[in-house]
Amino acid sequence: MVVACVRSPFADPVAMLASPSVSSLASYGRTFVDSLLASGLASDDFPGGDCRSDLGNPTQVIGGVVAPSRRWEADNLVMVTLPWRAHAAWNPKLKITGLQVHRRVAASLRSALADIWTDAGKRQAEIDRLGMSSIGGGYNWRQVREGEGLSAHAYGCAVDFDPGRNSQGSTSANFARPENRYVVDDFGKAGWTWGGTWPRPDGMHFQATTVAIANDPAGVDRGA
Ligand SMILES: [Zn+2]
């Protein structure tokens, strides 16, 4: 099975950057609980790499209820500021200033975004044309759609851009167009893989494939 990316169901960016409610997680049922307890982590297959091996376990189980670990969130999540103006994909009026990711992939994400900003001529209009100002999400504690494991988003090592023109399952993602391809290339140079080439394409999805342990001085990347 391949990792799947679920479009954010949240109505506002604050919720997007937080997590689903415990009550919604409880609906995943006992099978999901057991699979998490058995494996500790997700069991799905990651085409193009797996950033999760050194990221810790973002899940806690208390009284049989599976929930995001607030301790893990506090210890590991940082905010990477976007170089350009951006908004929530599902509401253009909701401004987004950064993406919340795991501290160990923050430097590489920052590098990819800086390269894209440079290649776009540091022009907001070009960023808007690319769709990079339409934010689908970053950290989000949730399952993959096709499987019982956690999404890469639940580890804070994946980000989504412009879901409206790069929908999951589509074989004609906007980022695949020649004039937009430098976005994919810049992520690739930073060690991030693009979901648009997966067996079940996920054109909005970019995912870290390596963990920058050497560049992880404690606390340096702790953002707002
Ligand atoms: Zn995604």
- H-assigned helices in 137-222: 181-189
Higher pLDDT: 34 or 87? It is 87
Q: How far is the CA of 16 from the centre of ligand 1 (A)?
A: 13
Q: How far is the CA of 30 from the centre of ligand 1 (A)?
A: 25
pLDDT (mean) for 170-190: 96
pLDDT for residue 213 is more than 60? no
Q: How far is the CA of 5 from the centre of ligand 1 (A)?
A: 4
pLDDT for residue 40 is more than 80? no
C-alpha 115/C-alpha 187 separation (Å) is 8
Measured in whole angstroms, the distance separating CA 134 from the mean position of its chain's CA atoms is 14
Q: Let me know if 197 is exposed, middle or buried by CB neighbors in 10 A (0-12, 13-18, 19+).
A: middle
pLDDT for 8 equals 34
pLDDT for 20 equals 36
pLDDT for 50 equals 60
Q: How far is the CA of 205 from the centre of ligand 1 (A)?
A: 4
pLDDT for residue 222 is more than 70? no
pLDDT for 65 equals 82
pLDDT for 63 equals 85
pLDDT for residue 48 is more than 80? no
In this prediction, residue 99 has a pLDDT band, given cuts at 50, 70 and 90, of very high
C-alpha 86/C-alpha 32 separation (Å) is 35
Q: How far is the CA of 126 from the centre of ligand 1 (A)?
A: 22
